[in-house]
Amino acid sequence: MARPSPYPLELRRRAVRMVAEVRPEYDTEWAAMKAVAQKLGIGTTETLRKWVRQDQIDAGTRPGTTTEESAELKRLKKENAELKRANEILKAAASFFAAELDRPHTRS
């Protein structure tokens, strides 16, 4: 399981906006990201690059899995795992009760 980000959501949004705003002032997008990361105290430029890419995916300007799609997929996987566990429990219970019905019973 991924650990939560040490950076608040508002900082991430602000950093992504800043990259878009200052991009024309730099030769490359990486240079803009590096400058913004340093200004805001973000650990690595790569972290900011991932935020920018995910923002582009969420906006529909870049192909990939959106944040909402990822969350829905995670929820469905969790639900699927719970249903599989429930099925295993029900199969075990059915086997147990079927075996009980097959045993000869003595009446007193």
Under 8 Å between Cβ of 43 and 25? no
Q: Is 11 among the domain residues?
A: yes
Residue 11 belongs to domain spanning: 7-64
Closest CA to 19 of 56, 41, 62, 48: 48
| Domain match, 98 and 56 both | no
The DSSP annotation for 58-91 comes to HHTSS-S--HHHHHHHHHHHHHHHHHHHHHHHHH
User: Positive or negative CA dihedral for 63, 43, 40, 45?
Assistant: negative
The tally of domains found in the chain comes to: 2
Indicate whether 2 pLDDT > 70. Answer: no
Tens of pLDDT, residues 38-72: 999 999 999 999 999 999 999 999 999 999 999 99
